[in-house]
Every structure is written in C-alpha cells, then in structure tokens.
Amino acid sequence: MKRSIKELANSRDAINKWMERYGVRFGIYKNNVFHEQLFPFDSIPRVISHDDWTYLEKGLIQRVKALNAFLWDIYHEKNIVKDNVVPEEFVYASKGYLPQCEGISPVNKVYAHIAGIDLVEGKDGKWYVLEDNLRIPSGASYPMMARKITRKVSPDVFQSVHIADNRDYGDMLHEMISDMCVDQGIGVVLTPGRYNSAFFEHCYLAEKAGLTLAFPGDLFVEDDKVYYQGLYNEKKRVGAIYRRISDEYLDPMTFEPSSLLGVPNVMEAYRAGNVALINAVGNGAADDKGIYYFVPKMVKYYLDEEPILQNAPTYLPYYEEDYKYMMEHLENLVIKDVSEAGGYGVVFGSSLTKEQLEERRQLIKEDPRRWIAQEVVDFKDLQILDNRKMVWRKADLRVFVVSGKETKVWKSGLTRFSRKPDSMIVNSSQGGGFKDTWVEE
C-alpha cells in the first residue's frame, strides 16, 4: 500500500493535467464576479480500513433512515413533537421547515434520496458526525473523477491494492431515480445554469447517471404533469427531477415569486404525485444544525435502536444546562450559526477577543435558537503534498448515502482538507482541496 501511495504522489502533475483536461472545476463569486477554478487535488488518497467502513456504513444507513422517518413525521402526524422528543419550535421555527410541504407524500416515504453526511475522524480513532446535508449535498463528482483519472495515470497501482471500486455512483443514482420515477417519465437534472458554483457536477452527474440536463425554461407543467420542452413543440413527460436548485427558488408560484430559475407549478405536480423531486422539498427542517442535536434521539425514537454513529459533543443553548455551559466555556468551543452553510457562520471561540466573546454571548442570549456550540474535535491530520513537501493538514469526509427502494452507502467519499496549517475550515469555497477516498476490501 505504501509503495502505491508513493507512486500516486509522484504522479501528481500528470493527474492534475488530466483534471485540467476534463475541466474539474467549481465556481466562486468574488466581489460579485464569477470565477472558475480547478478544485485543488492531492493525489495521496485517504484510506479507510474495511472494519471502519463496515461500522460507518451501518451507522450511516441507520442515521439516514431515522432522518427520513423524521421528515415524514413532521410533515404528517408530528408524533416526535407530540411526544416531546424534539421541541415544537425547533421544527417550526426552522428556516428549512416549509408549511407548503405539509401532507405531501413522496414515493416510498423517502425525502433525502441523496444524503451527504460530513464526518471527521478524531485523533482518538473515533468517528464523529459533524453535519447532515439533506438538501442539495454537493461533491460526489470530484472523487468520481479523481478515481477515473488516477486509474488512467497509474493503472498498476490499482492492480496491487484491494479497494472498493467507486465507479458505480452514476449507476446508483440511475437506479434510485428509476425507483422514484413516476409513470415512466424521463429523469432530469435541473440546474440553475452555467454560473452556478457546482455546474461541473450537475453536468457530470447527468452524463454518468444517464439523465437529461435541464435548464430553467426547459421544463413546464401542464395539467399537473411536468414536461421537458423539445424543439418544434415536442414534449416529453418527466418522471423525476434531480433538482440542484434550492427550495426557495424551485417554484415561483409557491415560494419566491421573483425566481426565474424554477419551474412554475412544479409543486402542484409534486403534490399530485405526478413527479418525484430528488431531494424532496422541505428537507432543510432536518439538516438544520439545531436539529442535528436531536438525531441520536430520532434513531432511538423511530428505529428503537441505539445510535451507532456519534455526534460531535454538542450544546444547545435552548436548554438551560447547555446554555450555562456555553456561557462559561465559550472560548473553548466552536460556535455555529444554524442558518449558515458551506463553512460560513462557524467561529472558534479561541479565535475571538474578550470583547468579541462578550458580543457573542449577548447574541446567544438574545436568540438561543439560532446557535449551537460543539467541543473542538481534534481531527486526525492527513498527509498532503504541498510544493513537493509532505505536510499534515486537517481533513473531513463527506459520505454519500443514496436511498431509493433500499438505502446504500457509496463506497467512496469526498475527503476535503484545509490548505492552511491548523485550520479546520475545509470547504472548497474557502480555499480547501480534496483527495480521493479508498475503502479497503
């Protein structure tokens, strides 16, 4: 294994040339100007042992099943609220909770068809869940592409290591979308367009999953059914939309009326059961950082099982005991704004001055529902090649869990690392890079 990894390290330049050739990019806006850049790739993979993966796989399937059950419940009977497991205001005051989704019954009761669960491995060898991404989790295309390229550049490496093949993600998506597809319609990936930061991924996943890429304006609704508009008034029934547009812009007749990105009346088609939306609308109610605190309780409540995966130790100032602890130990905690994403709204207490800590305490006091705090998990560092030198950097892992008729975990993942020493912010939008993730067989 070590020799294989060394060979990949030596192939870095060749691999990066192929990345450039295949246009493996993401976009960011700087001062309102759109820039596209190659996603920095480190050719040394993260390797996960077979035993670790077996544990993670069981835990992830369990967690996603519980989250799907929670989403069904809060938009229907609301038993978890009635039984006082999750406080009412945590659900209904959440930005992600959408009353327009009340009573809608997605096929197979699946809301989060594609879940991106962010994990970290601590230096103590334990794995912790950092975040559940159930709306539009991004990033699977990068390890797909990385593996394709590294196999091309160094085929002999893959003869000598026994790792799971990850080239099946397109097939997994296709199978899941076929399971969900209504009335034998076609499956589409709905993209907001060329200047979305994840546009490369939209196109690549459409290509690999055998789906049609649709832009705003390509879809329309007639008699509560969704169609793809072809040339010369041709139209094709759409059975499933893998939408990469956020909830608020998806349907101007239901949500943000100024949205030009969405499909007018698509929610009516969805409500009538005439189209599947992948992922369902309203999932934000379950991937709110405040709701994250309750996920282990959801596992017990819906599945009657002990949670396999642990959250990072988390405090919710909504509860008096947690509030007191946070006020006393704020400088040692990570403070997160529940409404932010992409690594934004995350502050390390240790980086704040005395005055800033006081300001933060005041904000928490005024609106406890808006904040959570976590103990700083000492991430395991991974080796990165930085200017031909091996250095150690913090890294997390986003694993993709796909739920159709069955829930399956893709044997791969997006390992993101920080390029700055000692920084725990790994997001691409904030300068992070990525690695391939190998799962030993």
159 binds other proteins per the rule CB under 8 A: no
The nearest distance, CB 241 to other proteins, in angstroms, is: 13
| 213 is a site residue for other proteins (CB under 8 A) | yes
Does 110 help bind other proteins (rule: CB under 8 A)?
no
Among 218, 256, 322, 375, binds other proteins (CB under 8 A): 218
| Helix orientation angle between 12-21 and 141-153, rounded to the nearest 10 degrees | 120
Verify binding: residue 313, other proteins, rule CB under 8 A: no
Q: Is residue 230 near other proteins by the rule CB under 8 A? A: yes
Rule CB under 8 A: say whether 240 interacts with other proteins: yes
| Residue 204 beta carbon to other proteins: minimum distance, rounded to whole angstroms | 7
- Binding of other proteins by 151 (CB under 8 A): no
Long-range contacts of range 8-14, CB-CB < 8 Å, 24 or more positions apart? 8/43, 8/44, 8/45, 8/150, 8/154, 8/157, 9/43, 9/44, 9/385, 11/43, 11/150, 11/153, 11/154, 12/42, 12/43, 12/385, 14/153
How many of the chain's residues bind other proteins (CB under 8 A)? Answer: 35
Q: Which is nearer to other proteins, 133 or 197 (CB)?
A: 197
Q: Least distance to other proteins from the beta carbon of 230, Å?
A: 4
Touching other proteins, residues 4-63 (CB under 8 A): 20-23
What amino acid is encoded at 119 in this protein? L
- Residue 22 or 318 with smaller CB distance to other proteins: 22
State the nearest-atom distance from the C-beta of 236 to other proteins, in Å: 5
Q: In angstroms, what is the minimal distance from the CB of 212 to other proteins?
A: 6
Q: What are phi and psi of 193, to 5 degrees?
A: 135, 180
Whether 395 contacts 416, CB under 8 Å: yes
To other proteins, the closest distance from the beta carbon of 116 in angstroms equals 22
Which residue, 162 or 194, has its beta carbon nearer to other proteins?
Answer: 194
User: Taking the alpha carbons of 424, 429, 431, 435 in that order, is the dihedral positive or negative?
Assistant: positive
> From the CB of 187, what's the least distance to other proteins, in Å?
5
Q: Which residue type does 126 have?
A: K
What burial class does residue 320 get, using C-beta atoms within 10 Å of its C-beta: 0-12 exposed, 13-18 middle, 19+ buried?
A: exposed
Largest CA distance in the chain: 67
Binding segment toward other proteins, per CB under 8 A, in 208-216, 248-256, 289-297, 392-400? 208-216
Query: What is the DSSP code string of 154-216?
Result: -HHHHHH--B---TTHHHHHHHHHHHH-STTPEEEEE---TTSTTHHHHHHHHHHHT-EEE-T
Name the CA radius of gyration of the chain, rounded.
22
Q: Closest separation between CB of residue 422 and other proteins, Å? A: 34
Name the nearest CA neighbour of 244 among 112, 136, 330.
136
Please tell me the distance from the alpha carbon of residue 176 to that of residue 434, in angstroms, as a whole number.
Answer: 26
Q: Does 404 bind other proteins (CB under 8 A)?
A: no
Site stretch for other proteins (CB under 8 A), options 69-77, 91-99, 229-237, 391-399: 229-237
Q: Does 256 bind other proteins (CB under 8 A)?
A: no
Binding site for other proteins (CB under 8 A): 20-23, 174, 177-178, 181, 184, 186-187, 194, 199-200, 203-204, 206-207, 210-215, 217-218, 228-231, 234-236, 239-240
